[in-house]
Amino acid sequence: MNYKIALIRGDGIGPEVVGAAARVIEAVGRKFNHTFDFTDVLMGGCAIDETGKSYPDGTAATCRGCNAVLLGAVGGPKWGHSTDPDKRPETALLSIRKDLGLYANLRPAVLRPAMASACPLKNDKDIDLLIVRELTGGVYFGKRDRYMTEDRGEEASDLMAYSVQEIERIGRRAFELARLRSKRVTSVDKANVLETSRLWREVMHRLVGEYSDVTYEDVLVDSMAMQLVRDPGRFDVVVTENMFGDILSDEASQITGSIGLLPSASIGDGAPGLYEPIHGSAPDIAGQDKANPIATILSAAMMFRYSLDLAQEAAAVERAVDAVLAAGWRTADIAGDGVFPIGCVEMTDKILAEL
Ligand code: NAD
């Protein structure tokens, strides 16, 4: 098969880690008899420098013409000060998610076996959960206001709103993803307080009837924050609204070790999915061959699984990463005391050799 992949290398370490993942994608092509055509797409700070805009016209159209999009990271101190949205790298991130209709953010938190010692928890070393965060609704996209009142002085408000349709589509995604895993869904809300959460819960309960092969539970967000550090191994797919998901996915990432290891995906209906490491552009180490490419390589594995329907290929990449980590190879961010780190290029070479 032939697949078209848009590569957004971006800024800082973005070009290094995307370059590493592109080498792995090509090796998968050779091993499994596929061809991958790459299209470079300019976005972020480098796009501001070249075109004056972080999200040049036509970016979404080019991505829509591909089967999937792989992104490194955008931004950096050079572009951090402008108040013009066109000249801010993060505008590009919000725009591409919106234009491609990417409403579901998938953040796996997997403790890779060889990295168990990096887990700050004492007991639970068997962590493999997937947080499915609603990405385009809720309080981050509601009406914001700042105003003066007579009795209380200055006030601000942010509106949190969810429609049945928005809840239903993310709920369905979660149940369908659970069917590919161990068929358990935990829905996280704050239904004891928030009306949006009560609607969320009602809609989820309606879906439970349609996915009777999947085990379902409701958990309140405060309790979930606790259980994630007490017993993360008991969760499989965790679905939640935008802000709760933002916070819980960062919490989950910390129990599995370095951000240099963690991939993510943002998917919608039909349009190409966007795959990216959870880390940023790491300007402090850019251009020094110190970046850990694993988060981006595992993002490419997610791309195989969720956008290209290549589960076997995804598993092969994940196995190669685990084998290299088990053999003791480490980049500086995960090396720990007394281990001599290897660079981004050498880490990629090791993974290619395993593959
Ligand atoms: P960061 O993730 O870039 O870096 C945090 C720390 O982790 C740094 O010390 C960095 O060296 C280290 N690190 C990150 N990725 C690593 C990797 N693959 N290998 C080894 N070490 C790694 O976060 P930050 O410093 O808060 O942000 C830097 C820039 O990135 C900012 O401009 C921010 O806006 C941008 N950013 C972009 C995205 C994105 O494109 N999706 C996400 C987060 C931050």
Q: Model confidence over 141-155: pLDDT tens digits?
A: 899 999 999 999 999
Angle at 80 between CA 74 and CA 83, to 5 degrees: 115
Q: Is the CB of 110 under 6 A from ligand 1?
A: no
Direct distance between the N- and C-terminal alpha carbons of the chain, in angstroms, rounded to an integer: 19
Closest ligand 1 atom to residue 76 Cα is 32
Closest ligand 1 atom to residue 296 Cα is 18
Respond yes or no: is residue 290 known to be catalytic.
Answer: no
Q: Which amino acid is at 63?
A: C
pLDDT for residue 160: 97
Q: Rounded to the nearest 10 degrees, how much is the dihedral formed by the CA atoms of 54, 57, 265, 288? A: -40
* Dist. CA 168 → ligand 1 center (Å): 33
- For the record, the structure tokens of 162 come out as 């969810």
pLDDT for residue 125: 66
Pairwise CA distance, residues 249 & 238, whole Å: 10
> Which residue stretches of 9-134 are H helix?
14-32, 45-51, 59-64, 89-99
Q: Is the CB of 285 under 6 A from ligand 1?
A: yes
pLDDT for residue 314: 98
- Residue 251 CB coordination number (10 Å): 15
pLDDT for residue 338: 85
What residue's CA is closest to ligand 1, atom 6? 282
Pocket test for ligand 1, best of 279, 285, 297 (most atoms within 8 A of CB): 279
- For the record, the structure tokens of 52 come out as 């004056």
* Dist. CA 347 → ligand 1 center (Å): 19
* Dist. CA 305 → ligand 1 center (Å): 25
Closest ligand 1 atom to residue 90 Cα is 34
H-helix or E-strand containing 262?
Answer: none
Q: Which residues, 6+ apart, have CB-to-CB distance to 229 below 8 Å?
A: 121, 251, 255
* Dist. CA 180 → ligand 1 center (Å): 31
Closest ligand 1 atom to residue 75 Cα is 32
In the block, which residue shows the tokens 């499915």? Answer: 132
Low-confidence ranges of the chain (pLDDT < 70): 123-125
Radius of gyration of the chain (CA): 21
Pairwise CA distance, residues 319 & 313, whole Å: 10
The answer to whether 291 touches 82, Cβ cutoff 8 Å, is no
**Count of alpha carbons within 13 Å of 229, Cβ hemisphere only?**
9
Q: Is the CB of 28 under 6 A from ligand 1?
A: no
Q: Is the CB of 73 under 6 A from ligand 1?
A: yes
For the chain, the farthest-separated pair of C-alpha atoms sits apart, in whole angstroms, at 70
The answer to whether 350 touches 23, Cβ cutoff 8 Å, is no
Q: Is the CB of 284 under 6 A from ligand 1?
A: yes
Strand partners, 146: 156
The answer to whether 265 touches 234, Cβ cutoff 8 Å, is no
Q: Is the CB of 260 under 6 A from ligand 1?
A: yes
Q: Is the CB of 264 under 6 A from ligand 1?
A: no
The answer to whether 114 touches 237, Cβ cutoff 8 Å, is no
pLDDT for residue 81: 85
Pairwise CA distance, residues 50 & 87, whole Å: 11
In 50-169 the beta strands, taken as DSSP E runs, fall at 68-73, 104-110, 128-134, 144-149, 153-158
Q: Count the residues in the chain.
A: 355
Q: What would the pLDDT profile of 46-78 be if each residue is shown by its tens digit? A: 999 999 999 999 999 999 999 999 999 999 999
* Dist. CA 176 → ligand 1 center (Å): 31
Pairwise CA distance, residues 29 & 264, whole Å: 22
- For the record, the structure tokens of 295 come out as 């988060």
Q: Is the CB of 299 under 6 A from ligand 1?
A: no
The answer to whether 44 touches 314, Cβ cutoff 8 Å, is no
* Burial classification of residue 143, based on how many CB atoms lie within 10 Å of its CB (0-12 exposed, 13-18 middle, 19 or more buried): exposed
- Residue 276 CB coordination number (10 Å): 26
Respond yes or no: is residue 250 known to be catalytic.
Answer: yes
Q: Is the CB of 106 under 6 A from ligand 1?
A: no
In the block, which residue shows the tokens 């068997």? Answer: 126
Closest ligand 1 atom to residue 44 Cα is 40
* Dist. CA 151 → ligand 1 center (Å): 43
